[in-house]
């Protein structure tokens, strides 16, 4: 990697200040950034490590009944501490990457990067969560803008994500055989007011809601109601591991399976 | 009662203690005082004219010792090829120059263009980024069939075409084979691809060059399966260093799988640069570099046909293969699709007429060479897929069709020039049917179907030829090396032995198994035997480890040397015992006069050899050290039958291996635990090829599967618990241990069983697609199910 300076702020305010330096780069768990640096694909002047900011860590339920998870909370922590409140989310976190990734990688890092094949964006969008930054709150529906694109401004940090807790939820994923990222994965969350379905890994525009399925499931929460629904493969990722048509098909299968898992 | 030591015992691998506790001494652990580091600037363009390489700015950067380009190696030899094929017209193959650093042209992504030697690796990388390379891009030659078309862009301008050779085997049989096809009652045709693989040993390649100005001695530390071969190839053909001034050390090596047999540019570079810079130079491959610079494996495109008579007897076989050589000829590349492939096409069957055609083709891709099995997996895959397809076309049971056509009498001379000495294919198939619980399959299929899954069963046989030999024959076939092995056994005064073997252990466990053999022969404890390998300064000569040859060839040399030791020790013992040599027998580590209690211990005899006070000096010399060279009279022919059971998810195309059973005949076995481990590892690689692994290029010659993000390696969770049996043993008739070799069997024997099982599962779901290419990924299965 190229040389850079490192800052380790202890508060969000210090971090925001450090990030005002030209070519500064925030780093949370580093599970994407460190390999990128090692491949010399990034050349920050200052790496601002967020791992020492305690106010960005932790899992708590707030007075409105939302599950609030700090942006700097590791997947392992979510897997254990969210389990009693939001088991579907905890199970998703428990199956991201491998133990090393889960012990370092964070919720905020994942959704700030917004890899089109990452797991967390499906949960955030599928839950209808709110992304809290150092300066504002952004609804999940307005947050994910495309492949590796989010509503975050330069230097803006995901400090917390507030999750409404569904009656039931399930995350179903089909693995890409090499990277073990989702080739396609679907998060289904059943709320009193309706069902949300978020698909990751499939689209060239990143995570998206499958609204037709949501409407059908909100009417009748049975996988059978999905059997005639299809997705268009033309906007889907096509690569060594699967065509767009295959990904579109997998999204329907994963959705049905998620519904079955909840219904069982 | 299993033995607890010696031949046949599952002695624990003594080398594992250091490997597992971090005390191994791998090449990257070797650091020489004052060493510099080299970074190779590699081409990111598959094919282009190299107009200029400007190093002026880079040379002034911090820490730079010296920068080398192709021009620095104009007076240096070409990286040599160790095997010359003569084609079906009697012409020798086309053999391009293979420079240490690209000169004039770049011919594959990853080819080194320049090398920066600097104080640190990071400084070398920084400077490499400042090198200005001007390349005029040319169309990339990627598809083999396009490469041999009239007017195709040439990878090497000085060759007549991209065709390396067009090999026919056995050319004289071609007419008779074609006639048999005309007379056939049934012909089955199959077109398939044997997918390109990246070997991926756990330890990437490393090379450290050192030069002693005072003596002019060169040393190369390298991750090699055969240091003496590297010494010869690099010394004689590339750098012009005589063997007595060049030491090559291959210390602990973390897996090779074939890709560490070959002599690579980086080895020649660090050796050359150490002298040019007058300091040691170290290169450690990154994993990314490994993907684009380690020789790849397989990559055949084949059309094969089988002719049968009305009674389903195989009457003739013919096969046409395009074999990818990549951009240059790696060390043994030409031999893999020919002599290691064509000679295996009879398989386990008494097909009387066989004709094999192989066109080897240059492309703008990484060179392709031997990878675990080397030619034999390609032969087995096409043959065993073809037999399965034939059975389904004819509506007969695939096992029954195989049994009907098995070779049952040995020795058996095949129509493809080799003679199988022993084997019992009926016995291994019987054993397989037992351990695979064929009878219980129908019930297991029902259970899967109840879960909405399809279940398939696939079987295949295999034959392999190990311990490639004898030297005079392989010389006629084009090998530019002998294929013997040597061993020196040195007995110390206090009775311990050091065996210096030319075989090289890079995971096989020779330090354990070779000691078991010698300990058994003398009747001493295994701990008294030390195995030394991997250093041309310590081991007199060696051809190294590949082709499952170590025990069959290297072990035989060790046995011959140990026999000489015992013969001399017996002379000394008979002198000490004042008895006739013929009356003295060696048992349990002591020489005894037969029928008496007069005895002298091993240690007393060895001490006498070095303190020869009471010693027959008039008859024999003091000391106890012997060397033997062993050149086998034939290959060995391990064989077996494998079965795979898969579950297929028809909605996603995901295939999981539910059972895998392997019944092998390896002849005699020294260490059953290690043999089982070798089979397990081979199966993992074979299943990996069948289901997951795929090295893929796009039409511009860019490597798409250039990291583990896209190159799928099998993990433990992808593999079942194996049912492995090697109780069927027909000992090899021509080596002293009766051993055959086991290192490659798993990788050779498993891919067809997996694919046959997947196709069986698909048929049970009402879809008969005839064939599906490896890797049988979920996407491919889904597409086939929905085609």
Quote the Cα angle for B426-B428-B434, to 5°: 105
CA distances from A192 to A164, A215, A218, A258, A263 (A): 11, 13, 9, 17, 15
Write out the two tokens for B458. 């696939």
On the question of a common fold for B27-138+202-255+260-293 and B484-630, the answer reads no
Q: How many residues appear in chain B?
A: 787
Taking CB atoms and an 8 Å limit, are A178 and B710 in contact across chains? Answer: yes
pLDDT digits (tens, 9 = 90+) for B270-316: 999 999 999 999 999 999 999 999 999 999 999 999 999 999 999 99
**Nearest-angstrom CA–CA distance, A25 and A4:** 10
Mutate to test the interface with B, among A31, A178, A223, A259 (most CBs of B within 10 A): A178
> How do residues B398-447 score in pLDDT, each as one tens digit?
999 999 999 999 999 999 999 999 999 999 999 999 999 999 999 999 99
- Cβ of A100 under 8 Å from any chain B Cβ? no
Other Cβ atoms within 10 Å of A126 Cβ, number:
32
Q: Which CATH number fits domain B484-630: 3.90.226.10, 3.90.1150.10, 3.20.20.140, 3.30.365.10?
A: 3.30.365.10
Whole-angstrom Cα distance, residue B146 to residue B136?
Answer: 22
Beta-carbon separation of A249 and B709 below 8 A: no
Rounded CA gap, B597 and B575, in Å? 16
Reference B470, options B479, B461, B458, B457; nearest CA is: B479
Pairing status of strand B599-601 against strand A46-49: unpaired
| pLDDT digits 0-9 by tens, A220-246 | 999 999 999 999 999 999 999 999 999
Q: Which chain A residues are Cβ-neighbours of B651 within 8 angstroms?
A: 253
What three-state secondary structure class fits B360? strand
Per-residue confidence at B1, pLDDT binned at 50, 70, 90?
Answer: low
Edge-to-edge strands of the sheet including A59-61?
Answer: A59-61, A67-70, A158-163, A130-133, A137-139
User: Taking a C-beta distance cutoff of 8 angstroms, is the pair B191, B771 a contact?
Assistant: yes
Residue B451: partners with Cβ closer than 8 Å, 6 or more residues away: none
Domains parsed from chain A with CATH numbers:
5-49 (3.30.43.10), 54-163 (3.30.465.10), 168-263 (3.30.390.50)
Mean pLDDT computed over every residue of chain B: 97
Question: What's the whole-model pTM score?
Answer: 0.96
**CB B660, CB B642: distance < 8 Å:** yes
Q: Which helix (H) or strand (E) holds A18?
A: helix A12-18
Residues of B with CB under 8 A from a CB of A: 125, 129, 288, 651-654, 692, 694, 696, 704-705, 708-713, 777-779, 782-783
Q: Which pLDDT band, with edges at 50, 70 and 90, does B66 fall under?
A: very high
User: Whose CA is closest to B747, among B686, B688, B690?
Assistant: B686
What is the side-by-side strand order in the sheet with B132-137?
A: B105-106, B48-54, B132-137
Kindly state the average pLDDT of the residues B143-148.
Answer: 96
Tokens (6 digits) for B176: 């008779």
Domain ranges of chain B: 27-138+202-255+260-293, 296-468+634-785, 484-630
CATH classification for the domain delimited by B296-468+634-785, as one of 3.40.50.300, 1.10.1740.10, 3.40.50.2000, 3.30.365.10: 3.30.365.10
The answer to whether B260 touches B249, Cβ cutoff 8 Å, is no
Kindly list the residues from chain A whose CB atom is less than 8 angstroms away from the CB atom of residue B288. Answer: 39
Report how far apart, in Å, the C-alpha atoms of B405 and of each of B397, B413, B461, B514 are. Answer: 13, 15, 12, 38
Taking the alpha carbons at both ends of chain A, their separation in whole angstroms is 49
Mean pLDDT, residues A132-155 taken together:
97
Give the C-alpha separation, B349 to B428, whole Å: 14
A126 and A77 Cβ atoms separated by less than 8 Å: no
CB contact under 8 A, A178 and B712: yes
At B662 the three-state DSSP class reads strand
CB-based contact B708 A178, cutoff 8 Å: yes
Greatest Cα pair distance, chain B, in angstroms, is: 86
What is the model's pLDDT at position B160?
97
Q: For residue B122, what is the nearest residue in chain A, using CA coordinates?
A: A1
- pLDDT above 70: residue A21: yes
Q: Name residues whose C-beta falls within 8 Å of residue B67's C-beta, 6 or more positions apart in sequence.
A: B55, B58, B59, B114, B115, B116, B117, B127, B131
Angle value at C-alpha B248, between B244 and B250, nearest 5 degrees: 155
CA distances A84 to A37, A64, A106, A162, B495, Å, are: 37, 17, 19, 16, 68
What are the chain A neighbours of B708 within 8 Å (beta carbons)?
178-179
Residue B187 Cα, gap to closest chain A Cα (Å): 34
- How many CB atoms within 10 Å of residue B212? 12
- Chain B contact set for A39 (CB, 8 A): 288
- Please indicate if any CB of chain B lies within 8 Å of the CB of A242: yes
Torsion (CA) A80, A84, A86, A89 in degrees, nearest 10: 20
The string of DSSP letters for B721-735 reads -EEEE-------SSS
- DSSP strand pairing (A158-163 vs A168-175): unpaired
Which runs of E-coded beta strand occur in chain A? 5-7, 24-27, 46-49, 59-61, 67-70, 130-133, 137-139, 144-146, 149-150, 158-163, 168-175, 182-191, 194-200, 208-209
Query: Does the beta-carbon distance from B711 to A179 stay under 8 Å?
Result: no
Q: Which residue has the tokens 């007199």?
A: B540
Within an 8 Å CB–CB cutoff, is residue A177 touching chain B?
yes
Nearest partner of B301 among B396, B196, B372, judged by Cα: B196
Sheet containing B599-601: give its strands across: B584-587, B590-593, B599-601
Helix, strand or coil, per DSSP, at residue B319: strand
pLDDT digits (tens, 9 = 90+) for B542-595: 999 998 899 999 999 999 999 999 999 999 999 999 999 999 999 999 999 999
Domain B27-138+202-255+260-293: assigned CATH number = 3.90.1170.50
Dihedral (Cα; B7, B12, B18, B20), 10-degree rounding = 140
Q: Which residue has the tokens 């096989």?
A: B508
Q: Is the per-residue pLDDT at B522 higher than 90?
A: yes
C-alpha–C-alpha distance, residues B13 and B233, integer Å: 32
Strand partners, A175: A182
Q: For residue B224, say if its preceding peptide bond is cis, omega within 30 degrees of 0.
A: no
pLDDT at B481 over 90: no
């Amino acid at each position: 990697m190229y040389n850079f300076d490192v800052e380790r702020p202890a508060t969000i305010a210090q971090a925001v200040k450090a990030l005002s330096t030209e070519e500064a780069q925030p780093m949370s768990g580093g599970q994407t950034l460190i390999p990128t640096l090692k491949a010399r694909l990034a050349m920050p002047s200052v790496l601002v490590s967020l791992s020492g900011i305690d106010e960005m860590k932790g899992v708590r339920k707030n007075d409105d009944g939302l599950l609030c998870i700090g942006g700097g909370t590791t997947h392992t922590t979510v897997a254990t501490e969210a389990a009693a409140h939001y088991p579907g989310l905890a199970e998703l976190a428990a199956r991201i990457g491998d133990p090393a990734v889960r012990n370092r990688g964070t919720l905020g890092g994942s959704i700030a990067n917004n890899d089109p094949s990452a797991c967390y964006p499906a949960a955030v969008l599928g839950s209808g969560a709110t992304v809290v930054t150092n300066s504002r709150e952004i609804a999940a529906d307005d947050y994910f803008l495309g492949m590796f694109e989010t509503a975050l401004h330069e230097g803006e940090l995901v400090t917390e994500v507030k999750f409404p807790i569904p009656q039931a939820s399930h995350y179903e994923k089909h693995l890409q055989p090499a990277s073990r990222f989702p080739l396609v994965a679907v998060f289904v969350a059943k709320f009193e007011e309706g069902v949300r379905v978020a698909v990751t890994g499939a689209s060239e525009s990143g995570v998206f809601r499958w609204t037709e399925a949501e409407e059908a499931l909100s009417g009748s929460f049975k996988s059978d109601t999905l059997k005639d629904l299809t997705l268009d493969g033309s906007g889907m990722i096509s690569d060594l591991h699967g065509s767009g048509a295959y990904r579109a098909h997998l999204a329907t299968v994963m959705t049905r399976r998620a519904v079955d898992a909840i219904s069982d | 009662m299993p033995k607890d030591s010696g031949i046949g015992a599952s002695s624990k691998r003594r080398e594992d203690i250091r490997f597992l506790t971090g005390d191994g001494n791998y090449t990257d652990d070797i650091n020489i005082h004052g060493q510099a580091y080299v970074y190779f600037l590699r081409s990111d363009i598959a094919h282009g004219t190299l107009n200029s390489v400007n190093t002026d700015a880079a040379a002034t950067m911090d820490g730079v010792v010296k920068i080398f380009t192709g021009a620095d190696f104009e007076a240096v030899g070409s990286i040599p090829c160790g095997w010359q094929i003569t084609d079906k017209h009697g012409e020798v193959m086309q053999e391009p120059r293979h420079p240490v650093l690209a000169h004039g042209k770049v011919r594959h992504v990853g080819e080194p263009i320049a090398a920066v030697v600097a104080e640190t690796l990071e400084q070398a990388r920084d400077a490499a980024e400042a090198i200005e390379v001007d390349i005029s891009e040319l169309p990339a030659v990627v598809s083999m069939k396009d490469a041999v078309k009239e007017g195709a862009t040439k990878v090497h301008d000085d060759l007549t075409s991209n065709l390396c050779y067009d090999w026919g085997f056995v050319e004289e049989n071609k007419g008779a084979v074609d006639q048999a096809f005309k007379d056939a009652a049934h012909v089955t045709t199959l077109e398939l691809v044997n997918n390109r693989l990246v070997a991926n040993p756990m330890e990437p390649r490393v090379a450290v060059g050192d030069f002693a100005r005072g003596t002019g001695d060169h040393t190369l530390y390298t991750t090699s399966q055969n240091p003496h071969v590297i010494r010869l190839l690099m010394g004689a053909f590339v750098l012009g260093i005589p063997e007595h001034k060049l030491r090559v050390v291959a210390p602990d090596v973390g897996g090779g799988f074939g890709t560490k047999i070959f002599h690579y540019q980086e080895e020649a570079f660090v050796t050359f640069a150490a002298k040019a810079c007058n300091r040691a130079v170290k290169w450690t491959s990154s994993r990314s570099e490994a993907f684009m610079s380690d020789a790849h494996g397989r990559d055949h495109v084949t059309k094969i046909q089988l002719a049968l008579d009305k009674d389903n007897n195989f009457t003739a076989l013919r096969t046409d293969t395009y074999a990818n050589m990549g951009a240059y000829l790696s060390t043994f590349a030409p031999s893999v699709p020919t002599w290691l492939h064509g000679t295996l096409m009879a398989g386990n069957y008494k097909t009387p007429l066989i004709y094999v055609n192989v066109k080897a083709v240059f492309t703008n891709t990484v060179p392709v060479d031997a990878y675990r099995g080397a030619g034999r997996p390609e032969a087995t895959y096409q043959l065993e897929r073809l037999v399965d397809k034939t059975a389904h076309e004819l509506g007969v049971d695939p096992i029954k069709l195989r049994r009907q056509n098995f070779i049952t009498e040995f020795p058996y001379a095949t129509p493809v020039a080799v003679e199988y000495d022993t084997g019992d294919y009926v016995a291994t198939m019987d054993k397989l049917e037992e351990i695979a619980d064929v009878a219980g399959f129908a019930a297991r299929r029902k259970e899967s179907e109840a879960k909405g899954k399809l279940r398939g069963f696939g079987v295949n046989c295999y034959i392999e030829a190990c311990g490639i030999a004898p030297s005079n024959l392989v010389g006629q076939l084009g090998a530019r090396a002998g294929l013997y092995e040597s061993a020196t056994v040195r007995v110390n005064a206090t009775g311990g032995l050091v065996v210096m073997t030319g075989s090289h252990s890079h995971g096989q466990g020779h330090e354990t198994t070779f000691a078991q053999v010698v300990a058994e022969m003398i009747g001493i404890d295994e701990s008294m035997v030390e195995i030394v390998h991997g250093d041309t300064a310590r081991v007199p000569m060696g051809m190294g480890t590949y082709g499952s040859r170590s025990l069959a060839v290297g072990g035989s040399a060790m046995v011959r040397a140990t026999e000489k030791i015992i013969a001399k020790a017996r002379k000394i013992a008979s002198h000490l015992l004042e008895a006739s040599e013929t009356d003295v027998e060696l048992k349990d580590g002591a020489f005894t006069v037969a029928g008496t209690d007069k005895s002298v211990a091993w240690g007393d005899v060895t001490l006498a050899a070095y303190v020869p006070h009471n010693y027959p000096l008039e008859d024999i010399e003091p000391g106890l050290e012997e060397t033997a060279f062993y050149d086998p009279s034939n290959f060995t022919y391990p064989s077996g039958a494998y079965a795979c059971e898969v579950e297929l998810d028809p909605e996603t195309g995901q295939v999981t291996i539910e059972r895998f059973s392997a019944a092998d005949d390896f002849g005699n076995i020294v260490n059953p635990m290690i043999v089982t481990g070798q089979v397990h590892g081979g199966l993992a690689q074979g299943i990996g090829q069948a289901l997951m692994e795929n090295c893929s290029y796009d039409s511009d010659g860019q490597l798409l599967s250039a990291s583990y993000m896209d190159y799928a390696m099998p993990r433990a969770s992808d593999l079942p618990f194996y049912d492995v049996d090697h109780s069927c043993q027909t000992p090899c008739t021509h080596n002293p241990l009766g051993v055959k070799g086991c290192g490659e069997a798993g990788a050779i024997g498993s891919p067809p069983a997996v694919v046959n099982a997947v196709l069986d599962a698909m048929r049970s779901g009402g879809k008969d697609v005839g064939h599906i290419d490896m890797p049988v990924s979920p996407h491919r299965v889904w597409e086939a199910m929905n085609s």
